[in-house]
Amino acid sequence: MLYNELFNIDGRVALVTGGTRGLGFTAALTLAQAGAYVAICGRSAEEATESASVIAKKSGKKCIGVKADVADEKSVDELFETVISKLGNVDILHCSAGINIRKPISELEVADWDSVMSINTRGAFLCARKVIPTMRERKWGRVVFYASMLSYVSIAGRAAYSSSKAALLGLTRTLALETAPDGVCVNAVCPGPFVTPMNQTINQDESVQREFLRKLPIGRWGNPDELRGLLLYLSSPACSFMTGSGVVIDGGWTAQ
């Protein structure tokens, strides 16, 4: 296979949940610029539409924004109906939607736990369950879950988030085993500290910032653009022999 064919997703249809900002927006823009038709979803219809317009303008490819709650089964059904009616069957799914509630367990409410698990883990499950059957029928598909370096290690105050992201690795491995004979590759990207809106509160706390930098051998936080090559690879024909993996990209944090 020629180099330009390895990463060719021209004409494929991609859905990125949580694609209105942060790493999800980076993924959506990357896939669109690589030739895919892209749908993004978020909990705000206005934000989804605005972000989709930016992606379409920068890429020259059709991109639509859809309001959806990935933790709600009916909303997920409606999301996929909309995407299929406007773009066609989904070939590439990126489950980027996620939240983080930072509290010690003595202060963590059951509602906090449920909120994190519902969006981060239940949402990924609902979306994958919806799209995988048609991928298997067509004998091609790419599913990328957004886990975390905290799937492997943790930080105090991250009980819900770390648990939700560790669960995604189990889901990744199981679905990879179920779909491998059908040309579907299921993997997880496990980012470390990247400069995104989710991490804004940490970036504004100088003492926490210093502690994070002390744990980063590379000496700085990641720029979302530094994820683009990996995200494209996991979405492309080049990924045909890789499935069931969690790929850590964390500036060396977990190497210690």
* Residues with a known catalytic role: 161
Structure-token pair, residue 212? 């994070």
Cβ-contact 118, 126 below 8 angstroms: no
- What are phi and psi for residue 187, nearest 5 degrees? -140, 165
91 to each of 13, 26, 98, 138, 167, how far by Cα in Å? 5, 18, 21, 9, 24
Residue 190 C-beta-side C-alpha neighbours within 13 Å: 25
How far apart CA 143 and CA 127 sit, in angstroms, is: 10
Cβ-contact 227, 26 below 8 angstroms: yes
Among candidates 14, 141, 179, which has minimal Cα distance to 88? 14
Other Cβ atoms less than 10 A from the Cβ of 241: the count is: 6
Amino acid identity of 214? Answer: R
Could you give the 3-state DSSP secondary structure of residue 7?
A: coil
Question: What DSSP string describes 180-229?
Answer: GGGTEEEEEEEE-SB-SGGGHHHHT-HHHHHHHHHT-TTSSPBPGGGGHH
Structure-token pair, residue 188? 């997880």
Angle at 26 between CA 20 and CA 28, to 5 degrees: 65
